[in-house]
Chains A and B, each alone.
Chain A
């Protein structure tokens, strides 16, 4: 069941960047792609508990700051060692300048 929550304002995320969003004891990562679209994933790397929001966004890739593991943040796909488990992704919509994510 859908549960939309407001994550941040559009302007809170730079282009080709990521920020952290905490809600209900969970941590998410909110991305803004180079073509100005928004995406959301779990906030922690699936390899070890590192905040992806401290990582580097390159095109459609997020690189974990701890061991440089890479994921496609649009699909959640792990792109090779040391990350082997895909990242959970969440639906995103933008309404009235706010980025909403479906955490349901």
Chain B
């Protein structure tokens, strides 16, 4: 029987990943001519400025609607829109600006990154480093700090994730702990020592704003300040989870080919605006230098070498569900997605896990 996975970043799986060469490994990349890649990587402020103006205007407009209609049922659609903009679309803004690819101007990336980090209750320093690790060691057990659904999957936890409750319960106490100057062993494993004090300072700034918000709410004897700041992390997070879970769930772990552990899903234009095209997730992991607005072009260019994308989120979840059920019994089981005949085959090393026995059960 296979050994149980140890998801700690300083445990046995960590040692194994380093010893077997899975950590910081060379990953597969589809061949793209340098000239073409240079064109795809080009940065521009224009698309992100346009999208950010729309984003902020929609946030302010829906916030005004919440304040205006507070106390009546008419507030519901405004809460719905505001919640998704605050609690979900901030994730993609955090992500793209963290990579530094959304805007050409570094300062613009940094400003939006810090605002989005606050909205998400994420320490901007800690998460910059955890995401760097996620790209170095994507879904490598014991190394990747951002594995959303571990094996065997906890389906109740996964379902609760859509409500934001679990993430809220993790994020807020984490910020409080960090604000008091304590970083966990896992956090210390990926935040360089010279950056650790910055993580503490960032957590203190976030906590200061939350304390001020609570003070204002008490002074005004109103829930509105908390409904606008902090609580959207609960009621607006469902879209982020719906799209984000699909990035890697049910696919392989401990491999060095993003075609095996990452999923591209076609999505409707509204979700793509909220998600900033991160539905092209294999493409993003293979070439993180390509800005979100160029991902559809990149997808067209390399799709001959990738598994066929899921045609919808619904399709992807239907595909994943039986895999999760099987992983309850056999945590080594995963969905190995077929490559088109035009693609280069998967490499043998790390990728030839025997899933036949588990599949037959």
CA distance A65 to B287 in the complex (A): 7
Q: Is the CB of A56 within 8 A of B125?
A: no
Tell whether A56 pairs with B289 under 8 Å between CB atoms, given A67-B136, A79-B106, A84-B195: yes
Tell whether A81 pairs with B106 under 8 Å between CB atoms, given A66-B136, A68-B101, A68-B288: no
Binary interface encoding of chain B residues 186-219 relative to chain A, with 1 for a CB under 8 A from any of its CBs, else 0:
0000001011000000000000000000000000
Interface range on chain B (Cβ under 8 Å from partner): 20 to 34
Which residues on A sit within 8 Å (CB–CB) of B136?
48, 66-67
Which residues on A sit within 8 Å (CB–CB) of B93?
none
How many whole Å from B294's CB to the nearest CB in chain A? 12
Q: Is the CB of A65 within 8 A of B289?
A: yes
A63 is an interface residue with CB less than 8 A from chain B: yes
How many whole Å from A72's CB to the nearest CB in chain B? 12
Binary interface encoding of chain A residues 22-54 relative to chain B, with 1 for a CB under 8 A from any of its CBs, else 0:
000000000000000000000000011100001
Partner of A84, one of B43, B99, B101, B192: B192
B104 is an interface residue with CB less than 8 A from chain A: yes
Binary interface encoding of chain A residues 55-70 relative to chain B, with 1 for a CB under 8 A from any of its CBs, else 0:
1101000010111101
**At the interface with chain A, which of B7-15, B127-135, B261-269?**
B127-135
Q: Is the CB of A58 within 8 A of B100?
A: no
A17 is an interface residue with CB less than 8 A from chain B: yes
Which residues on B sit within 8 Å (CB–CB) of A47?
132
B38 is an interface residue with CB less than 8 A from chain A: yes
Which residues on B sit within 8 Å (CB–CB) of A80?
106
**Cβ-closest chain B residue relative to A47:** B132
How many whole Å from B108's CB to the nearest CB in chain A? 14
Chain B residues within CB distance 8 Å of chain A: 24, 37-38, 41-43, 99-101, 104, 106, 125, 128-129, 132, 135-136, 192, 194-195, 287-289
